[in-house]
Amino acid sequence: MKRFGLKKSFVMAIIMALLLGTNLMSSTAAENRIFNDMPHTGNVFADMEKQIDYFKEDGNIRNDIAVRTLKMHLSGVALFQKQGQTDKVIKQMQSFKRLLDNQKSNGGISGIAHDVLNTYTQYVIGKINGPFNSDNVMQHIKHLSVDIGPREAGSDGERAGAEYIESVLKSYGYETKIEEAPRSNRTELLLKVLSDNNKIIPLRAVSNAPQTTGNGITGNLYNAGTGQPGDFTAAASGKIALIQNGGITAGAKATNAMAAGAIGVLIYDNQDRFTLPSVSLGTVRPNIPVGAITKKDGEAFVSQLSKGNVEVQLSIKTLTNQKTVNVIAVKKPKGVANPEIYYIGSHLDSVPFAPGANDDASGTSTLMELARIFKDYDGDKELRFAAFGGEELGFVGSRYHIGNLSQDEVNRTKAQFQMDMTGTAWVPASQLFINTVDGKSNLVSQSTHQAAEKLDINKDLLPVHMLSRSDHVPFHEKGVSSALFIWMEPGTPPGGANIEPYYHSLEDKIEHVSPERLQLTGDVVFKAISDLIGFQKNSGKNEDASLNKAS
């Protein structure tokens, strides 16, 4: 999801609370367990009971009677599941939804407890009833965010992600293509530990410092403490100075390193945080490259240096003539001329060095699972799946794509469902927001609410909200009904919403993704689209929810 302005004070409060273990409460949800992820151990009923305990500790479940009532019901459902009585499991979980509604109405549980436990409930029902399988989604997220990793627009990582997505969609029988869209020049950053199996360390460039040439610089690290003049000896000459932030200005640190003959500088943070530090040299313009790394990585280097040499390669350079990539897959109806067109969208790129598990491997993997299901459905509409590149740069890929459609194609395009951050495990992000550019209900939100009603999902879990910041924007600008699906915390501030603290950070990892929320997203979006476009299961197909068998 493209960066947007969270209040700095709120973001810093989140970071500090995470670091210090503080149970900081937001002003609008004072009882929420703000910094806890939803438990997911593989035993959903045990996870639900654990979440109930957390909510009781924090006041979101307000009395012991409510705790006992909820847990007793879950114990009975767990027994039915153990006995393989899936019909009774579904019936009792539907009854559990009513129980949650009653507990909320009589003040026994808070809104967030109601919403989170409802999501677990739909996970159980959806895994039994529906064709959507969040296990498959998690496999795709692992490949994109762990096996491939960061996917900055124009990078090899983005290209690898695109090739993987296309190969999966092609295996389902879709017509596919990769589009290339020009993007602005980008800075390529590399910090490779040659003495540690070429391990890659996240790096941020520091402005006012020169870039490297060729393959960059290679040298041993020198521990220069906080970069005071007395921290340098003759041994620093020809090495890359490792300096902790703080004490004196970064400009002074770089100046002292140059005077000692260092060929480069790495400044590591003096605070734990999810993001790479922003370091300013002020008016100092050194003649050696300067990069910034996390406290964790800096301290690891210090530890390694106590045992011997640490050799690294440092490269900071600008790349020109860059392209970001889109992956497009199409399912055309047979024998229908000029059909209506419907899009399911996501973005495949991440911000630099973020694994991008939730933003937006989750949305892209949701798209891929929907594609697996829809391969066995037919109708008289055209369905397109579009994983866009360059979203983080301002919707570069989606603007390129829709800008290159014919006017006839634009006129025939009726709706676009944008999947972006569809699976955060961060507890307070308890509702799946349907964000439209103007904040008004449209064909996408209306069809989703109708689907939710049919699935017995409380539509209060699916509020319509005004937010742009993703690839639904270029479609809206062309007059197409479009909406962004994203899990957020309601009412922060009142009338607004907030997103997970892992957003655009090194901690956007798969362990912070919730299969339960992915399941609810997939269930309701699949139902909304299939009903909206009238797709029916091809009687000649045999549905198999297993990814391995399907592909």
- Predicted confidence (pLDDT) per residue in 7-35, tens digit: 333 343 333 333 323 232 332 333 333 45
Residue-level pLDDT at 35: 55
pLDDT at 509: 98
Q: What is the pLDDT of residue 36?
A: 85
Quick count: other Cβ atoms within 10 Å of Cβ 87?
9
Q: How far apart are CA 47 and CA 49, in angstroms?
A: 5
Neighbour-count burial for 455-468, b at 16+ CB within 10 Å, e otherwise: bebbbebbbbbebb
Question: Using CA atoms, how far apart are residues 521 and 131, in angstroms rounded to an integer?
Answer: 13
E runs forming strands in 463-529: 464-466, 481-490, 497-498
Which one, of 358, 331, 384, 374, lies nearest residue 510 by Cα? Answer: 358
What local confidence, expressed as pLDDT, does residue 496 receive?
A: 81
Q: In the beta sheet, which residues pair with residue 485?
A: 419, 434
Model pLDDT, residue 492: 81
* CA-closest candidate to residue 487, choices 436, 435, 424: 424
Query: In 212-333, which ranges are E strands?
Result: 217-223, 240-244, 264-268, 290-293, 311-319, 322-331
Fold held by 186-319: Glucose Oxidase; domain 1 (3.50.30)
User: For 169-196, what is the HEC assignment?
Assistant: HHHCCCEEEEEEEEECCEEEEEEEEHHH
Q: What is the pLDDT of residue 335?
A: 94
C-beta contacts of 82-88 below 8 A and 24+ residues apart: 86/128
Q: Are 463 and 457 in contact (CB under 8 A)?
A: no
Fold of the CATH domain 134-183+337-373+404-533: Aminopeptidase (3.40.630)
| Percent of the chain surpassing pLDDT 70 | 92
pLDDT score of 538 = 87
CB within 8 Å of 31: residues ≥ 6 apart: 25, 58, 59, 60, 110
Q: What is the full DSSP assignment across 432-454?
A: EEEEESSS---HHHHHHHHHHHH
Q: From CA 214, how far away is CA 485, in angstroms rounded?
A: 43
Tally of CA atoms within 13 A in the half-sphere of 39 that contains its CB: 17
The residue behind tokens 């040298």 is 219
Residues of the chain with pLDDT under 50: 4-34, 543-544, 546-551
How confident is the model at residue 526, as a pLDDT? 99
Which is nearest to 406 in space by CA: 476, 341, 468? 341
pLDDT in tens, 244-302: 999 999 999 999 999 999 999 999 999 999 999 999 999 999 999 999 999 999 999 99
According to the model, what pLDDT value does residue 322 have?
A: 97
CB 341 within 8 A of CB 329: no
C-alpha to C-alpha distance for 409 and 342, rounded to whole angstroms? 11
Give the Cα-Cα-Cα angle 78, 81, 83 (nearest 5 degrees). Answer: 115
* pLDDT of the residue at 150: 98
pTM check: above 0.75: yes
Distance CA 139, CA 322 (A): 30
